[in-house]
Structure 1
Amino acid sequence: MLEKIKDLTKSLGPGFIIASVVLGPGSIAVASRIGSEEGYSFLWVIILAAICMIVYTSMAVRFGVTKKESMLETIAEKYGRWFAVLIGISSFMSASSFQFGNNLGIGIGMEGITGIDERVWPFFFTSLAIMLLFWATNLYKVLEKLMMVLVMIMILAFFVNLLLTAPDLTQLAKGFLPLSLKLDDMDIVAALVATTFAVNGAIYQSYLVQNKGWKESNLKRGLNDSYMGIFFLALISILIIITSAAALKPQGITVNSAADMALQLEALFGSYAKIIFSLGLCAAAFSSLMVNAVIGGGLLSDGLGLGGSMNEKMPKVFTAVVLLLGMLVAVFFRGDVIYALIIAQASTIMSVPLIAIGMYLILNNKQVMGKFRNNPRHNILAILGFLLISFIVYFLYSRLLTFLSTV
């Protein structure tokens, strides 16, 4: 038994890296705020988003273990460089938007710990990330080990706290059913979908699998790793919603700060809840800040035909640009930080339609994928996921434009 657990641990890696980038401070803020305001009502959205993420990530794994060339290089070869460039640019813009939220999360987390102004910390952590980017001898291995530890710590903390908050099991069960949905709820749905379904992360799974050196014989291992990462990703969001709904909603507390989010951990950590939560928020923010920038910079560079490996120069340069853009916006931002985190989280799905189309075309190309191409079940689920995300993007644009007009 111990040997099987050891082998399973060794096989994990890319799935946890993707989980860590999607699970940033925006995800924590979204889940906490929605749980405190809406209770358990939207738990079903996490399940739906997880299913969509599984479909697209499994597509990326199948490509990664069977092909030597990258996904965007293959798209450029089969459908034109312009298509790969559009995907690269949209991924870069999405990553930059998400990076804004990561920097805000680091700022409010460190201010909660030290009392030092939140605008100071993005400078420090962005500098640390850039140093890691250019001087780490094996960036992939560093990220793999760090993300696995951080994800497991967050799961443990929220699971123990869940046991102490004693949620209403009847209402909790109802939350997994879409009993009612209004058009006014679409911004909530969009933000929650983005906590779990991030196709820019899914497509990058193919790069991580290739970097890991996995081949066709490792397909089952790669799929299991992806499923495990997505399971933990969805589990953390669900745990946060449940604990927030059980601990904050009955008291009428709406999440407007890190201190408000920390109240849900008081059952476990008492007076130390704010510090513990702020540390977790910083850990989530820094892990997401680093990997998110790598994805945005790597996909833009590969889309432009300048290389997609972090061992090459241009992916590192574009990654540094993402880091700096997110830092500058966060430092000069003024407004409702928690709402800004939610908008930044939701805006990550803007790049999804293009990426989803590109992945769908490649995974259905018999010449490219052969026996590993999508089967009818894959295609049905992939199309449903695409329709879901496109519908949400339609509503999100108006919300995002309204928000930007107030900044």
Structure 2
Amino acid sequence: MSIVERIKAIGPGAMVAAAFIGPGTVTTASVTGARFGYALIWTIAFSVIATIVLQEMSARLGLVTREGLGEALRERFDNPLPQFVSIALVVSAIGIGTAAYEAGNILGGAAGLATITGVSQTVWGPLMGLIAGVLLWTGNYKLIERALIGLVAIMGVSFLIDAILIGPDVGAIMGGFVPRVPDGSAFVITGLIGTTVVGYNLFLHASSVQERWSSVEDLGECRTDTVLSIVVGGFITLAILTTAAAAFPVGTNIEDVGTMAQQLEPLVGTHAKIFFSIGLFAAGFTSATTAPLAGAYATAGALGWERDLTSTRFRAVWGTILLVGVVFSALGTSPVQAILFAQVANGILLPIIALFLIYVMNDRTTLGDYVNTTPQNVLGGVVTVVVVWLGLRTLLSIAGVI
């Protein structure tokens, strides 16, 4: 496959990258770079590999079986009780979870525009929500995909230019790929991995590949799309972390990513502030669009509804998620209790989904020759152990134990 053909293959994978590089990732990467310098770059590398492993399985499941992950999860349980529990977990963790995070996505993107224009983010937030709603309402998958690919490109260029302007230490960057855990870094390590390996992206990917490709013969293109897109997403995260690492002395605390662009200005000039703000806007808008879409795919699949982008129930799900974000962004507040609930639900769901993925990807009656190979199972097992650890840390952290 030529380079041009590989670029043309990019699609659903770019939507996954657009979803995980949101304001949460920008914040976490910025905080990590400012506090620990280049020491935790290895965490990004691990996160990229882990995401590729799980997303490839999810995409392969969708392409081979023509089922979304929600349908697969519901149909594998004959007993009503586990079926009900699985549906409840999906709807709560993905549906309510994406609604809880939506305000942060919109406010993050609005903060970038506010820095550039001087207009309040409480004005930009609802406007962003409206534009995202119009884009989703078209029900045109190709249009949505192209818009998100374009924004990922803008985001990548913006953060890369910032990293170049700031002049990071290349030697220190290379040293950051050597795993080490500085004192007090466990929490941000958990955050970096947790903002990249995202549960709702598994639902988004399994469904979106069916919109893009119609045959299992396209699996090669699908894998190319997955790997390239997620690696690009990892480089964007790396650019954000290295920008913060180069700009601030180790140990600096960044409380609000919306102010980081302003903090960069006296260090490297107005251009750095503008590029960072553009990148933050693109990160917020792409996540504000993909989160409702993922929530709708997951909820519709789990409940056995039609996964048609133009159906009334599908639109009702993403519309509700988007409306929650718009309302809270207009108020300028974040639904803290809902986010705490979403963290708990996602902390429980992600390990379950990872285990379920490995289980179903070894079902030869469903997948035939496309079942997992031994190396894929080993990699999946390692990733699952890590996400179980992340889930436990999330629960213990919220419970106040750690």
TM-score (normalised: structure 2): 0.88
In structure 2, what is the equivalent of residue 75 of structure 1? 73
Q: Distance in 2 between matches of 1:345 and 1:185?
A: 23
Partner of 1:405: none
Instruction: Establish whether residue 172 from structure 1 lines up as the match of residue 170 from structure 2.
Output: no
Q: Which residue of 1 aligns with 2:280?
A: 281
Report the identity percentage: 24
Give the Cα–Cα distance (whole angstroms) in 1 for the partners of residues 345 and 103 of structure 2. Answer: 11
What SS class does the counterpart of residue 197 from structure 1 fall into? Answer: coil
Provide the alpha-carbon RMSD of the alignment. Answer: 2.9
Residue 35 of structure 1: how far off its partner (Å)? 0.6
Q: Judge conservation of contact 1:266–1:273 (CA < 8 Å) in 2.
A: no
Indicate if the aligned counterparts of 1:101 and 1:345 stay in contact, CA closer than 8 A. no
Name the aligned partner's letter for residue 394 of structure 1.
L
Paired with 1:62 and 1:374, the residues of 2 have a C-alpha distance of 10
Query: Shift of the alpha carbon at 1:267?
Result: 7.3
Cα distance change, pair 114–399 in 1 and its aligned pair in 2 (3 A): farther
Rounded Cα–Cα distance in structure 2 between residues aligned with 1:222 and 1:181: 38
Q: Which residue of 1 aligns with 2:236?
A: 236
Q: Is the 8 A contact 2:63 2:209 kept in 1?
A: yes
**1:115 CA drift (Å):** 2.5
The one of 79, 86, 93 equivalent to 2:96 is 93
Q: Give 1:257 shift.
A: 4.3
Q: Does the 8 Å CA contact 1:161/1:267 hold for their aligned counterparts? A: no
Distance 2:265 2:304 in 1: 47
Q: Residue 95 of structure 1 contacts residue 292 of structure 1 at CA under 8 Å; is this kept in 2? A: yes
- Within 2, Cα distance between the matches of 1:266 and 1:15? 37
Please give the alpha-carbon distance, in whole angstroms, between the structure 2 residues aligned to 1:162 and 1:358: 39
Q: Structure 1 pair 347/74, CA: closer, same or farther in 2 (3 Å)?
A: closer
Q: Shift of residue 62 of structure 1?
A: 1.6
The answer for unaligned runs of 5 or more in structure 2 is none
Structure 2 matches for 1:7-406, cutoff 5 A?
7-80=5-78, 81-82=83-84, 83-134=86-137, 136-138=138-140, 140-180=141-181, 184-249=184-249, 252=252, 254=254, 256-264=256-264, 270-332=269-331, 334=333, 349-350=346-347, 351-400=349-398
Question: After alignment, is 344-353 or 120-129 more displaced?
Answer: 344-353
TM-fit CA distance, 1:145: 1.2
Number of corresponding residues: 393
Change (3 A) 1:251 1:207: closer
Structure 2 letter corresponding to 1:64 = G
Structure 1, gaps ≥5 residues long: 403-407
Q: Which shifted more, 45-54 or 118-127?
A: 118-127
CA deviations 1:345-383 (Å, max 9, x no partner) are 977953312322332222121211111111221122112
How far the C-alpha of 1:300 sits from its partner, in A, is 1.0
Matched residues in 2 for 1:229 and 1:329: separation?
31
| Cα displacement (A) at 1:315 | 1.8
**Deviation at residue 334 of structure 1 after TM alignment:** 5.0
Q: How much does 1:314 deviate?
A: 1.4
SS in 1 for 2:185: helix
Query: By how many angstroms is 1:164 displaced?
Result: 3.6
Given the superposition, is the C-alpha separation of residues 372 and 256 from structure 1 closer, same or farther in structure 2, using an over 3 Å criterion? same
1: distance between equivalents of 2:257 and 2:243? 16
Work out whether residues 168 and 246 of structure 1, in 8 Å CA contact, stay in contact via their aligned partners in 2: yes
CA distance in 1, matches of 2:275, 2:162: 12
Of residues 270-279 and 208-217 in structure 1, the stretch that sits farther from structure 2 once superposed is: 270-279
Distance in 1 separating the partners of 2:355 and 2:14: 25
Contact 1:299 1:308 in 2 (8 A): no
Task: State the distance in 1 between where 2:104 and 2:284 align.
Answer: 8
